[in-house]
């Protein structure tokens, strides 16, 4: 399971990139895309929408199931990955790269520090799997 050290993670399997110019990039983890299987459709939030931490704001559909994506932080969506409209499988190919979902300007950037670090996420996944 790939878990980059420079990211933060949620217990609902989203990753949050480092803050750059007041914005974070959000995607789903390698573990999440592996569990979903082949991604066939992605419904992303609207640019400009205000989101609240923990709210379902996007959907990733695979050949197996559909899964809600939750806002890891409260803030405003400033960009979405339009590549996923035509190539949703990019999430499977590069969950931590070109398969990012959206960019968010957090209301409080320090909230990112309260999320799981890579080691904490790996422990969480191991506990979740039993």
pLDDT in tens, 9-66: 999 999 999 999 999 999 999 999 999 999 999 999 999 999 999 999 999 999 989 9
| CB atoms inside a 10 Å sphere around CB 22 | 11
In sequence order, what E strands does 36-80 have? 39-43, 50-51, 56-62, 66-70, 75-80
Is the pTM higher than 0.85?
yes
The pLDDT value recorded for residue 18 is 95
């Amino acid at each position: 399971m790939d878990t980059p050290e420079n990211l933060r993670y949620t217990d609902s399997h989203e990753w949050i990139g480092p803050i750059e110019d007041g914005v974070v990039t959000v995607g789903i983890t390698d573990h999440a895309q592996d569990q979903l299987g082949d991604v066939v459709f992605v419904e992303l939030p609207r640019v400009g929408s205000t989101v609240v931490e923990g709210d379902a704001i996007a959907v990733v559909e695979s050949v197996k199931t559909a899964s809600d994506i939750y806002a890891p932080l409260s803030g405003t969506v400033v960009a979405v990955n339009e590549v996923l409209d035509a190539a949703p499988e990019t999430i499977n190919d590069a969950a931590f790269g070109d398969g990012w979902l959206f960019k968010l300007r957090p209301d409080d950037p320090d909230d990112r520090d309260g999320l799981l670090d890579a080691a904490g996420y790996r422990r969480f996944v191991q506990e979740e799997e039993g």
